[in-house]
């Protein structure tokens, strides 16, 4: 494409009617942002403006073509971070995400700015600092200068203002600038910030003509006197989070973890079967479920697994709910289990408490450790010497594998291959357990 044929994009609405008070610095902000986008000539589909609450937050309605996203007060940087990570890592696209936020929003959501700077996420924050909450009645913000008069500081602010540039720089921000909204070069500074591959913050100092100028000696000159962070305050060279994540985390996973399962067996199963394993934490209940799920996938089926255990993780009950199906599984709940395996007293207690036993029908096969106390259940109950045969740690998987031999749900070869691969020489113990249990399940 020649220079003459390069597509020129428009961003701001033609004849946009600005909603701001006369003389408000936001007018300059909007025009300079538009100048920057025009200068960069980014495809509008690759630009996302994420706005915060406040007068400046209504800016997004003035832009026609980029994506716009209006968020909750103070949280725009967090939303933008999520958008950028989803786009940068999952979509691998190069969208430019721009946060439009005021000093009130920056105060409320300071930690989001800190995190974004630490991560060096490729987000540009354009912080409109007019030293107060304009939209909500002119209250002072943590950016108000000393002696600043507002409705909430009528005698003048007595707390020194927050230095946001210094904060984000300390947190690793790789591009930090300050400029007055009236600065003729602001469009170029914003363009540089947007083009910067990493976290960039431009603090744009503005006048609020409704609440600031009537009560304070503040004008363009005094604002310019507050600028400390100029061109020298950018530190390029640090990788942005998405690039680093793709290189270090996804790259390492590709090298070390092959978690894809290619079906190489078949299963005659038609429809969906729902199975609950209920036992004791630390006795490989959830691992049993996981290996069964993988063997179902290896058998050409769809499978889901949901686990539950107390917050302590390694003590108390451990429950896993499995669905296997010849169809896509659109509902992973279990209203009526096809099978329930209860391998320990904790498992029985939880199966009672969470209602699993009451959900069983006369068609449900229930395999329970034989030393458990009597329990009420409408299912067909088999009491087997699970713990004496298999010990607690093999009980759930050996019982499930034995039941599978009777039911033929997943290819038994697939399941035994998973067991052999996981437990190596100890898998012989599972082979022995299964041979012992199969004749005891009289289906
Ligand atoms: S209240 Fe202040 S910040 Fe809001 S539009 Fe009016 S001048 Fe601008
Ligand atoms: Mg403000």
What are the pLDDT tens digits along the chain (443 aa)? 444 556 788 899 988 899 999 999 999 999 999 999 999 999 999 999 999 999 999 999 999 989 999 999 999 999 999 999 999 888 877 899 999 999 999 999 999 999 999 999 999 999 999 999 999 999 999 999 999 999 999 999 999 999 999 999 999 998 999 999 999 999 999 999 999 999 999 999 999 999 999 999 998 888 888 888 876 556 666 888 998 998 888 877 666 656 688 999 999 999 999 999 999 999 999 999 999 999 999 999 999 999 999 987 678 999 999 999 999 999 999 999 999 999 999 999 999 999 999 999 999 999 999 999 999 999 999 999 999 999 999 999 999 999 999 999 999 999 999 999 999 999 999 999 999 999 999 88
Q: What's the order of all strands across the beta sheet hosting 302-308?
A: 302-308, 317-325, 272-280, 339-342, 365-369, 380-384
d(CA 105, ligand 2 centre) in Å: 8
d(CA 104, ligand 2 centre) in Å: 5
Planar angle of CA 331, 314, 433, nearest 5 degrees: 75
Ligand 1 atom nearest residue 23's Cα: 7
Predicted confidence at residue 1, as pLDDT, reads: 42
User: How far apart, in whole angstroms, are the C-alpha atoms of residue 26 and residue 200?
Assistant: 20
Ligand 1 atom nearest residue 211's Cα: 2
d(CA 173, ligand 1 centre) in Å: 29
Which residue has the least CA distance to atom 1 on ligand 1? Answer: 134
Planar angle of CA 311, 391, 340, nearest 5 degrees: 65
**Among 137, 140, 133, 136, CA closest to 154:** 140
Which of 23, 55, 101 has the most ligand 1 atoms within 8 A of CB, as the residue to mutate?
55
User: How far apart, in whole angstroms, are the C-alpha atoms of residue 284 and residue 418?
Assistant: 14
d(CA 43, ligand 2 centre) in Å: 30
Which residue has the least CA distance to atom 6 on ligand 1? Answer: 21
Q: Which fold has domain 3-247?
A: Rossmann fold (3.40.50)
d(CA 107, ligand 2 centre) in Å: 10
| pTM for the whole structure | 0.69
Predicted confidence at residue 3, as pLDDT, reads: 47
Planar angle of CA 376, 380, 381, nearest 5 degrees: 65
Which residue has the least CA distance to atom 8 on ligand 1? Answer: 24
Predicted confidence at residue 31, as pLDDT, reads: 96
Residues of the chain with CATH 3.40.50.970: 3-247
Which of 208, 215, 223 has the most ligand 1 atoms within 8 A of CB, as the residue to mutate?
208
d(CA 136, ligand 2 centre) in Å: 9
Which of 59, 101, 210 has the most ligand 1 atoms within 8 A of CB, as the residue to mutate?
210
List, chain by chain if needed, residues with CB within 6 Å of any ligand 1 atom: 20-21, 24, 26, 55, 130, 134-135, 208-211
Predicted confidence at residue 235, as pLDDT, reads: 63
Which of 135, 181, 218, 223 has the most ligand 1 atoms within 8 A of CB, as the residue to mutate?
135
Spatial contact of 300 and 327, defined as CB atoms under 8 Å apart: no
Ligand 1 atom nearest residue 21's Cα: 6
d(CA 106, ligand 1 centre) in Å: 17
d(CA 164, ligand 2 centre) in Å: 14
Which residue has the least CA distance to atom 2 on ligand 1? Answer: 208
Residues of the chain with CATH 3.40.920.10: 272-440
Domain boundaries 272-440, corresponding CATH code: 3.40.920.10
Distances (CA, A) of 161 to 103, 129, 395: 11, 11, 64
Ligand 1 atom nearest residue 102's Cα: 3
d(CA 220, ligand 2 centre) in Å: 16
Which of 144, 209, 215 has the most ligand 1 atoms within 8 A of CB, as the residue to mutate?
209
Phi/psi of residue 367, nearest 5 degrees: -105, 120
Spatial contact of 316 and 360, defined as CB atoms under 8 Å apart: no
Planar angle of CA 28, 205, 199, nearest 5 degrees: 95
d(CA 134, ligand 1 centre) in Å: 5
């Amino acid at each position: 494409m020649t220079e003459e044929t390069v597509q020129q994009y428009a961003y701001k609405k033609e004849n946009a009617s600005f909603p701001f008070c006369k003389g408000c610095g936001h007018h300059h902000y909007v025009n300079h942002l538009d100048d920057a986008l025009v200068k960069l000539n980014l495809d509008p589909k690759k630009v996302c403006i994420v706005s915060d609450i406040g007068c400046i937050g209504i800016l997004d309605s003035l832009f026609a073509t980029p994506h716009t996203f209006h968020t909750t007060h103070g949280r725009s940087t967090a939303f933008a971070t999520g958008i950028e990570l989803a786009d940068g890592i999952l979509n691998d696209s190069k969208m430019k995400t721009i946060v439009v936020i005021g000093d009130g929003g920056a105060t409320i959501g300071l930690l989001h700015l800190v995190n974004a700077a630490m991560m060096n996420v490729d987000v540009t924050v354009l912080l409109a600092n007019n030293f107060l909450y304009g939209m909500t009645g002119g209250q002072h913000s943590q950016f108000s200068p000393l002696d600043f008069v507002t409705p909430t500081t009528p005698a003048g602010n007595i707390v020194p203002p927050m230095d946001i540039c210094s904060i984000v720089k300390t947190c690793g921000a790789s591009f930090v600038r300050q400029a007055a909204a009236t600065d003729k070069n602001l469009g170029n500074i914003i363009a540089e910030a947007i083009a910067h591959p990493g976290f960039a913050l431009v603090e744009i100092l503005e006048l609020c003509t409704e609440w600031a100028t009537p009560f304070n000696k503040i004008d363009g000159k005094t604002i310019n006197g507050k600028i400390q962070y100029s061109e020298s305050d950018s530190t390029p060279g640090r990788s942005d989070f998405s690039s680093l994540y793709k290189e270090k985390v996804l790259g390492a996973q590709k090298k070390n973890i092959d978690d894809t399962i290619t079906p190489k067996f078949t299963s005659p199963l038609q429809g969906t079967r729902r199975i609950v394993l209920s036992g004791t934490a630390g006795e490989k209940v959830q691992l049993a479920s996981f290996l069964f799920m993988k063997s179902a996938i290896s058998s050409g089926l769809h499978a889901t697994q949901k686990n539950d255990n107390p917050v302590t993780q390694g003590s108390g009950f451990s429950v896993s709910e499995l669905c296997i199906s010849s169809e896509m599984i659109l509902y992973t709940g279990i209203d009526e289990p096809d099978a329930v395996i209860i391998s320990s007293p904790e498992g029985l207690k939880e199966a009672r408490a969470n209602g699993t036993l009451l959900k069983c029908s006369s068609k449900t096969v229930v395999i329970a450790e034989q030393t458990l106390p009597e329990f009420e259940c409408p299912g067909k109950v088999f009491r087997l010497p699970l713990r004496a045969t298999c010990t607690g740690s093999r009980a759930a998987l050996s019982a499930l594998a034995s039941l599978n031999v009777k039911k033929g749900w997943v290819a038994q070869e697939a399941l035994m291959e998973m067991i052999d691969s996981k437990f190596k020489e100890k898998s012989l113990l599972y082979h022995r357990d299964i041979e012992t249990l199969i004749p005891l399940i009289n289906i």
